[in-house]
Amino acid sequence: MKKAALLFSAMFLILLAAASSFAGTLADVKAKGILTCGISEGVPGFSIPDSTGTWVGFDVDMARAVAAAVLGDSSKVKFVPLASKQKIVAVSSGQVDLTSRTTTWTLKRDAKQGVDFTHVVFYDGQGFLIPNKLGVRSARELNGASVCVTAGTTTELNLADFARANSIKVEAVVFDGKKEALNAYAAGRCDCFTTDISQLASLRSTLKDPKSHSILPEVISKEPLAPLVRHGDNQWKDIVTWVINGLVAAEENGITAANVDKMKASAENPVIQRMLGTSGDTGSYLGLDKEWLVRAIKAVGNYGEIYNRHFGPETPLNIPRGVNNLWVRGGLQYALPIR
């Protein structure tokens, strides 16, 4: 009996130690005073250094919102550029606290690779970029084509699936990074280039003559892009999930970076009061204070403001919101109740 009790105690301590090793990201981030975030190596609109070397973009703003909520300062982020093959292991190994980097939420990644996804920030799909001079009008005309693609991505797998499903043969020319794949395409080493359509639009804008290249009409996959965190730290996952959800809820309720203080002071709507901390204490559910969402909105704006800043009609990319619009406007962005 005594041996059984000792064995049970030892097993309990081992399990407790294992659990603790997968917890505490919030405490770690606060102790460091900075959030470490993995991002892409440079995709206009999503994440790219500006003329001063400061990282800007849609994915960058999502990370800054988390930093504002947790640390009270959206500038307290260290951005770590990651190649496609690095983006999962960097999170699961603890190299970064969060990855906000055009990463597709899949079953295998979520269940088997040591990461948890949070909130879908961009609904996308895979497509093909091709020079106009080739005269190709459909992806089904790509039989025999060579296709530049990035290693370690769902893109590579989707390309193979599409070819099999349509009984065509393509040659996948694989590169470690998206930049290398794009450069190879631009140099004529491949007939076409495939990745998410939003990234095709973004990367096409960097080519010497963007108008001489077209995105084919077919969308061959679903690519729900979401920030991810290390598996096992439920509190940290909840924080990232609900900060982003809060940005969507802010757009639904007309709360912006410019009016958030006024709304906080005068709103009579109980939903808005809960969101902005004047009623209840939703922050305590996350281990944060009452103004966690106020700080995030004030730092980067609501979801629509972020989208328009990087993809809207006044930007070079001008990507219509489509399915990334709010659910009340025919899109898929739908905020869960903050209460």
CA distances from 197 to 55, 148, 155, 204, 239 (A): 22, 14, 11, 10, 29
Given this model, what pLDDT does residue 122 score? 98
Compute the distance between CA of residue 64 and CA of residue 37 in angstroms, rounded to an integer.
Answer: 9
**Last residue of a domain, which of 189, 221, 253?**
221
Query: Mind listing the pLDDT tens digit for each residue in 237-292?
Result: 999 999 999 999 999 999 999 999 999 999 999 999 999 999 999 999 999 999 99
In-domain check, residue 68 = yes
174 and 304 within one domain:
no
What count of other Cβ atoms lies within 10 Å of the Cβ of residue 45?
A: 24
In-domain check, residue 49 = yes
In-domain check, residue 88 = yes
146 and 89 within one domain:
no
- The yes-or-no verdict on residue 295 having pLDDT over 90 is yes
In-domain check, residue 246 = yes
- The yes-or-no verdict on residue 158 having pLDDT over 60 is yes
In-domain check, residue 247 = yes
In-domain check, residue 235 = yes
Given this model, what pLDDT does residue 85 score? 87
168 and 41 within one domain:
no
Query: Mind listing the pLDDT tens digit for each residue in 299-310?
Result: 999 999 999 999
**Last residue of a domain, which of 165, 188, 221?**
221
154 and 114 within one domain:
no
Cβ(302)–Cβ(263) below 8 Å? no
Given this model, what pLDDT does residue 18 score? 42
Q: What is the mean pLDDT of residues 137-158?
A: 94
285 and 190 within one domain:
no
> In the structure encoding, which two tokens stand for residue 233, read together?
């730290």
212 and 260 within one domain:
no
162 and 131 within one domain:
yes
106 and 94 within one domain:
yes
Give the contacts of 236 (CB within 8 A, at least 6 positions apart).
Answer: 25, 26, 97, 229, 230
**Last residue of a domain, which of 197, 221, 245?**
221
In-domain check, residue 14 = yes
Q: Please list the residues that pair with 174 across neighbouring strands.
A: 149
CA distances from 288 to 69, 194, 235, 236 (A): 8, 41, 11, 11
Query: Mind listing the pLDDT tens digit for each residue in 66-101?
Result: 999 999 999 999 999 998 889 999 999 999 999 999
290 and 164 within one domain:
no
Q: What is the mean pLDDT of residues 108-131?
A: 97
Entry pTM? 0.88
15: confidence class by pLDDT, cuts 50, 70, 90: very low
- Count of domains for the chain: 2
In-domain check, residue 205 = yes
315 and 213 within one domain:
no
15 and 119 within one domain:
yes
330: confidence class by pLDDT, cuts 50, 70, 90: very high
User: In this structure, what CATH number is given to the domain that contains residue 131?
Assistant: 3.40.190.10
Domain that holds residue 33: 10-123+224-329
- The yes-or-no verdict on residue 337 having pLDDT over 70 is yes
